[in-house]
């Protein structure tokens, strides 16, 4: 750190404060999701989906359960003609228990956090200080739904993509 700052000052002529701000700015940007090379993964076809019938899948890898569901009401980040298809990490963002889909929302029975799938995974009740990480979806012309990235840190990881 010290060396970088000195060299910045020596060569660029900028102030120490500016140097610090730049570091902070770069740092802040660097970790904003999606900051990692997520791979695209096909989950399902739109025609297979029934409202309130969740589909389990793993994303971005086998150790990370996720859930796709058509919730029957428009959702933040929803895809499909009604913008009501969403996907989330299925590990509770509180302490990692599996979440359940019922009555149009996710409930974790470990400490009873509840997340609203229509509102970006909002913790509208319970202990989880993070909203449920939402999975970015894309639908192609044939109606295939792809997972593209995870927005938010998956519980139990320091980085969403584990080394293989």
Partner 1 sequence: MALFARKDRLPIPPKDAERVTTVCQYCNVGCGYDVYKWPVGKDGGKKPSENALGIDFTKQRVALQGQSIVENMHTVVTGKDGRQYNVLVIPSKASPVNRGNYSIRGGTNAQATYAPSKPTRNRLHYPLLRVGDQFQPISWDEAIDIIARVVKGVKDRWGPDSIAMKCHDHGGSGQGFEDNWAVGKFFFIAVGTRMLSIHNRPAYNSEVWGQRERGAHELNYTREDAWLADTIVLWGANSFETASVFYTEYMLPNLQGATIGKKRKVYRRGEPAEAGRMIVVDPRRTASVAVAEDVAPGRVLHLRPNLGTDYVLANAIARAIYEKGWHDERFIRRRTDLKTFEDYKKKSLMLDVPYDEFMRKVERLTGVSRGDIEKAAEWIAKPKRRRYRRRTLIIYEKGVIWGYKNYDTIASIAQIAALTGNYGKPGTGCGRQGGHQEGYVRPHSRSRAKLVGSVYAGGPPPNIDEYVKQNLNAKVYFVSATDPYLSTPNAQAYKKRVHERTFALTKFLSEYAATAGEPAGPEERARRILEGLGKTEGLFLVVLNMYQTEVGRDAHIILPAAGWGETPETSINCNSRLLRLYDKFVDPPGDAKPDWWIWGRIATRMKELYEAEGNYEEAKYCSGMDWKTAAEVFEDGASEFPDNRVSRADEAKLPAECYKGVTHDLLRRLGQKGIQTPVRIDPKTGRPVGTKRRYTYKFGTPDGKWKWYGTDPWDPDPKKFYPHQITKYFRGDNERKFPFWFTNGRTQIFWQTGYNDRYLPEKVYTIPMPYIEMNYRDAERLGIKSGDIVEVYNMEGNCVAVVYVNDSPPPGTVFGIMYRFHESLNHLTTSYTDPKTTIPWYKGSRVGIRKLPGRLESVIKYTSFLPINDFS
Partner that binds at residue 54, options ligand FES, partner 1, none, CB closer than 5 to 8 Å by kind: none
Specify the stretch interacting with partner 1 by CB under 8 A; choose among 6-14, 17-25, 43-51, 140-148. Answer: 17-25
Rounded Cα distance between 146 and 137, Å, is: 5
Is residue 98 within 8 A of residue 146, CB to CB? The reply is no
Choose, from 8, 94, 99, 137, the residue flagged as catalytic.
94
Specify the stretch interacting with ligand FES by CB under 6 A; choose among 11-19, 70-78, 79-87, 125-133. Answer: 125-133
- Which among 90, 95, 88, 87 is positioned nearest to 129, based on CA atoms? 95
Is residue 88 within 8 A of residue 120, CB to CB? The reply is no
Choose, from 102, 111, 125, 156, the residue flagged as catalytic.
111
Query: Which residues contribute to the site for ligand FES (CB under 6 A)?
Result: 92, 94-97, 108, 110-111, 113, 126-128
């Amino acid at each position: 750190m010290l060396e970088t700052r000195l060299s910045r000052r020596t060569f660029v002529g900028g102030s120490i404060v500016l140097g610090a701000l730049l570091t902070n700015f770069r740092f802040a940007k660097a970790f904003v999701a999606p900051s990692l090379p997520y791979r695209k993964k096909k989950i399902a076809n739109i025609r297979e989906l029934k409202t309130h019938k969740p589909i389990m899948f793993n994303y971005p890898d086998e150790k990370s359960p996720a859930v796709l569901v058509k919730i029957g009401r428009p959702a933040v980040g929803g895809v499909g003609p009604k913008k009501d298809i969403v996907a989330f990490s299925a590990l509770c963002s509180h302490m990692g228990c599996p979440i359940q889909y019922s009555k149009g929302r996710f409930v974790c029975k470990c400490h009873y956090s509840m997340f609203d799938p229509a509102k970006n995974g909002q913790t509208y009740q319970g202990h989880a200080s993070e909203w449920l990480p939402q999975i970015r979806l894309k639908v192609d012309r044939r109606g295939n739904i792809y997972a593209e990235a995870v927005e938010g840190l998956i519980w139990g990881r320091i980085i969403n993509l584990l080394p293989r």
